[in-house]
Chain A
Amino acid sequence: MGEPKPIDLDALMAEVRERIRTKREKGIYGPDVDALMRVPLPGGRRIFSDDLQDPLASLAEALDEEVEYDPRSRKPIVGPVITYARQVVISLVRWWMGAILERQERINRLLAAAYDYEGQMAPRFGTRLERLEREWKERREHEVAANLHSVYFQARFGGDEPVIRRQSEAFVDLYKGRKRVLDLGSGRGIFLQLLKDKGIGGYGVDLDPRMVAQCREKGLEAHEVDALTHLRQVESGSVDGLYARHLAEHILPGELVEILRACRRALAPGAPIVFVTPNPKTLTVGAHTFWTDPQHLRPIPPDLFTFYLEVEGFTEVELRTFEPSERRLNEEVPAGPIRDNVKLLNETLFGDRDYAVIGYAPK
């Protein structure tokens, strides 16, 4: 007899898995079969080695378990004697049992502490944590369509540079004479350039390294860091002005509040602060154009934003709307209720598309 051919287990298992996949697809192997295979062993506890597969859940169950022992014997005639004897023995060894249990309790506590110390709560805890972190990261990425081709997106939906410049120009004068103005989410550096042109000292931070590189190419100062981290790092009162265009709608409300608090610390007394964001009070924005950017997390009503600034201690808080809608209802109708209604509709549907909240660090 010759040498038997070696068996290619990997190929075999690949075929096995393929068969299972096909059966799943065809519905032959459905959740009902899965349920059958998970039916617990009737009549008592799971096999302990199975419990060890999911120690955290099983531990919780074990801790809740009462230890029961029934000393009664049901044997005829001798039963009561046996029962009595057992009760006597139990009462005799009670203190000894107690000592053993106490030692066990000590061991349990020490073990729990030791595991905690090593940072390994349970076998596979790390794997499960990693999975959770991976899934969470994915969730965060999917929430903002991080997998989208950003170049194509910018080409279709990205703002025109001249428009952005025109909008930003309206705020430059607020920073006249300032030495160190911070642009949060400085992007291509349009606002930084405007500051520089007016002789105002400024710098930007942005998460996108390409944007930071573009700024630096133009000779503008920019750093690749997220807004909150940066605001917490800078020296107290070292920034004398802050501008953040289209940043607030990309973060969660709590993060926005954190940023405002960090701003108060970072800003010199009296330093101006400006946040520009889409105006959801205009329904065509709030219901439509706001959502054409998948990175937008949620719209912020102007009244709320104003409130945020006020409640965080900024003074002289002011709201400015701009960028009127291109399309509007014709208001050239006879004066009276109809014209009033059309005006109201225009305001509601086709009002200004952006707004800015402006405030000052308390003196």
Chain B
Amino acid sequence: MRVHQFHPTLAPGDAMSNHVFALRKRIRHWGYDSFAYAIEAKPGVADVRSYRRLFREVKPDDLLIVHFSMGSEVVDQLVKIPARRVLVYHNITPPEFFSGINPHAAAFARLGLRQLTRIAPAFELAIGVSEFNRRALADAGYEETARVPILLDWEHFAVPPNDGVLARWKGMRNVLLFVGRISPNKRQDDLVRMLAYYRRCIDPEAQLILVGAYRDQPQFHARVVALVERLGLGGAVWFAGSVDDASLLAYYRAATAFVSLSEHEGFGVPLLEAMRFRLPVVAYDAAAVGETVGDAGVLLRERDLAETAEAAAMVGEKTELREALVAAGEKRVRDFDPDTVAERTRQVLGL
């Protein structure tokens, strides 16, 4: 028996792609042949096969894991391949976030949601990476569902942090960080507005770093850049783009707080990365954010930018609070210990 994983795109630095590769490593370690397939493999990822090979190679007693986070015509064909089929759901950003900003993305999100329901009968098991996702699966008509967190792989962070990045942000008192694709659901626009409060009412030197690819949402990115200008925050907001592990590590080290105002996350890997690298987390409680953060961060129940800014400032200035959050964060990360998650994955997959 072999284990095949599919996702339409596989890209470096993408939480879901990392999950696919981490899982492949584990499965191989358990003694099975395992391969990753994609329609599009972005530069920088190695050892990914074309999805076309799936139709030739998958045998009826193989396990086909379909990772699902967007609509794709190919999936309709994939579910016809005779094999044990398992869906891993990473959630689909609701189309309303793209409506009026990116009609293309909105159409794909709509397609994805329809497809999710349509292909339900083809899977013997559907795994949600969070309870939020598992519930969405149950709502979409999946009979067998399980919650298994994302399989994290900390090993790729076993690099020295990028010196250039560290040097650039050295000595700054208030550096707020958010990591995630520039996308309307992640609400980088509200982070920028929040920074306006921060600089007017807390620290005029405060900086905001937005790490994350902006190619997928060029319209939204352009509009957030325009917002930065409109608010006179040029020079205070740094769009770092998609970065390598060494730089990402350096950003986590350089920042004073991780702030999330995201309104939709299927899991929220960067929240755990921040905790892992001893950065306190202040996050608005939406979608799966709450269950990922647990009691290890400042969870904001109300969407109030001034309160978000003040909470982030307190986290930065109060040593005791900061230490408590860091300790709680490190403990929280252990709840998602890769070995434990891998074992649980093996169990539900019946490997």
Please give the residue numbers on chain A whose beta carbons come within 8 Å of chain B beta carbons, in ascending order: 1, 3-7, 9, 12-13, 15-17, 19-20, 23, 28-29, 32-33, 36-39, 41-49, 52
Closest chain B residue to A40 by CB distance? B227
Residues from chain B with a CB closer than 8 A to the CB of A41 are 189, 223-224, 226-227
Given A12-B298, A44-B100, A45-B101, the answer on whether A28 and B223 have CB atoms closer than 8 Å is: no
Given A37-B194, A42-B230, A47-B97, the answer on whether A13 and B201 have CB atoms closer than 8 Å is: no
Query: Is B328 within 8 A of A4, CB to CB?
Result: yes
Query: Is B196 within 8 A of A44, CB to CB?
Result: no
| A115 CB to nearest chain B CB (Å) | 18
Closest chain A residue to B329 by CB distance? A4
Query: Is A47 within 8 A of B328, CB to CB?
Result: no
A-B contact pairs, 18 of them (CB 8 A): A5-B324, A5-B327, A12-B314, A12-B321, A13-B307, A15-B314, A20-B306, A33-B197, A37-B196, A41-B226, A42-B226, A44-B100, A44-B219, A45-B100, A47-B97, A47-B100, A49-B94, A52-B96
Q: How far is the CA of A36 from the CA of B321 in the complex (A)?
A: 29
Residues from chain B with a CB closer than 8 A to the CB of A44 are 100-101, 219, 223
| A50 CB to nearest chain B CB (Å) | 9
| A5 CB to nearest chain B CB (Å) | 5
Query: Is B193 within 8 A of A39, CB to CB?
Result: yes
Residues from chain B with a CB closer than 8 A to the CB of A47 are 97, 100-101, 184, 187, 189
Residues from chain A with a CB closer than 8 A to the CB of B306 are 20, 29, 33, 37
Q: How far is the CA of A6 from the CA of B325 in the complex (A)?
A: 9
Query: Is B197 within 8 A of A37, CB to CB?
Result: yes
Closest chain B residue to A36 by CB distance? B196
Is B29 interfacial (CB 8 A cutoff)? no
Name the contact of A12 in the complex, choosing from B184, B187, B197, B311 (C-beta under 8 A). B311
Is B117 interfacial (CB 8 A cutoff)? no
Contact with A along B115-127 (1 / 0, CB 8 A): 0000000000000
Leading 7 A-B pairs by shortest Cβ distance? A4-B327, A45-B100, A42-B226, A48-B96, A48-B99, A36-B196, A16-B310
Closest chain B residue to A45 by CB distance? B100
Given A15-B314, A33-B201, the answer on whether A43 and B324 have CB atoms closer than 8 Å is: no
Is B63 interfacial (CB 8 A cutoff)? no
Closest chain A residue to B300 by CB distance? A13
Query: Is B223 within 8 A of A43, CB to CB?
Result: yes
Given A16-B314, A33-B196, A43-B226, 7 more pairs with CB closer than 8 A: A4-B330, A7-B328, A32-B200, A33-B197, A39-B230, A41-B227, A44-B219
Residues from chain B with a CB closer than 8 A to the CB of A4 are 324, 327-328, 330-331
Is B231 interfacial (CB 8 A cutoff)? yes
Query: Is B263 within 8 A of A49, CB to CB?
Result: yes
Q: How far is the CA of A7 from the CA of B299 in the complex (A)?
A: 11
Within 8 A of A (CB), among B230-286: 230-231, 263
> What is the number of contacts between chain A and chain B, taking CB atoms within 8 Å?
105
Residues from chain A with a CB closer than 8 A to the CB of B185 are 49
Residues from chain A with a CB closer than 8 A to the CB of B194 are 37
Closest chain B residue to A1 by CB distance? B327
Within 8 A of A (CB), among B79-100: 94, 96-100
Is B295 interfacial (CB 8 A cutoff)? yes
Residues from chain A with a CB closer than 8 A to the CB of B96 are 48-49, 52
Q: How far is the CA of A52 from the CA of B187 in the complex (A)?
A: 15
Q: Which residue, of A42, A46, A47, A48, has the highest number of chain B Cβ atoms within 10 A?
A: A47
Query: Is A7 within 8 A of B324, CB to CB?
Result: yes
Please give the residue numbers on chain B whose beta carbons come within 8 Å of chain A beta carbons, in ascending order: 94, 96-101, 184-185, 187, 189, 193-194, 196-197, 200-201, 219, 222-224, 226-227, 230-231, 263, 295, 298-299, 305-307, 310-311, 314, 321, 324-325, 327-328, 330-331
Residues from chain A with a CB closer than 8 A to the CB of B325 are 7
Closest chain B residue to A35 by CB distance? B196
Q: How far is the CA of A9 from the CA of B324 in the complex (A)?
A: 12
Q: How far is the CA of A23 from the CA of B201 in the complex (A)?
A: 8
Closest chain B residue to A3 by CB distance? B331
Closest chain B residue to A2 by CB distance? B327
Query: Is B321 within 8 A of A7, CB to CB?
Result: yes
Q: How far is the CA of A1 from the CA of B98 in the complex (A)?
A: 45
Residues from chain A with a CB closer than 8 A to the CB of B230 are 39, 42
Residues from chain A with a CB closer than 8 A to the CB of B98 are 48
Name the contact of B200 in the complex, choosing from A13, A33, A49, A52 (C-beta under 8 A). A33
Query: Is A19 within 8 A of B97, CB to CB?
Result: no
Q: How far is the CA of A52 from the CA of B303 in the complex (A)?
A: 14
Q: How far is the CA of A39 from the CA of B223 in the complex (A)?
A: 12
| A299 CB to nearest chain B CB (Å) | 48
Given A4-B327, A5-B324, the answer on whether A39 and B227 have CB atoms closer than 8 Å is: yes
Q: How far is the CA of A42 from the CA of B305 in the complex (A)?
A: 19
Closest chain B residue to A23 by CB distance? B201
Q: How far is the CA of A32 from the CA of B197 in the complex (A)?
A: 10
Q: Which residue, of A3, A39, A45, has the highest number of chain B Cβ atoms within 10 A?
A: A39
Q: How far is the CA of A1 from the CA of B298 in the complex (A)?
A: 22
Query: Is B201 within 8 A of A29, CB to CB?
Result: yes
Q: How far is the CA of A44 from the CA of B103 in the complex (A)?
A: 13
Closest chain A residue to B95 by CB distance? A48
Q: How far is the CA of A38 from the CA of B227 in the complex (A)?
A: 11
Q: How far is the CA of A38 from the CA of B200 in the complex (A)?
A: 14
| A138 CB to nearest chain B CB (Å) | 25
Query: Is A49 within 8 A of B327, CB to CB?
Result: no
| B289 CB to nearest chain A CB (Å) | 14
Residues from chain A with a CB closer than 8 A to the CB of B184 are 47, 49
Query: Is B100 within 8 A of A42, CB to CB?
Result: no
| A8 CB to nearest chain B CB (Å) | 9
Query: Is B100 within 8 A of A48, CB to CB?
Result: yes
Q: How far is the CA of A17 from the CA of B219 in the complex (A)?
A: 35
Q: How far is the CA of A33 from the CA of B200 in the complex (A)?
A: 7
Query: Is A39 within 8 A of B231, CB to CB?
Result: yes
Name the contact of A36 in the complex, choosing from B189, B200, B222, B331 (C-beta under 8 A). B200
Closest chain B residue to A29 by CB distance? B201
| B106 CB to nearest chain A CB (Å) | 9
Query: Is A9 within 8 A of B314, CB to CB?
Result: no
Residues from chain A with a CB closer than 8 A to the CB of B222 are 43
Given A4-B324, A37-B194, A42-B223, the answer on whether A20 and B310 have CB atoms closer than 8 Å is: yes
Residues from chain A with a CB closer than 8 A to the CB of B328 are 4, 6-7
Query: Is B196 within 8 A of A6, CB to CB?
Result: no
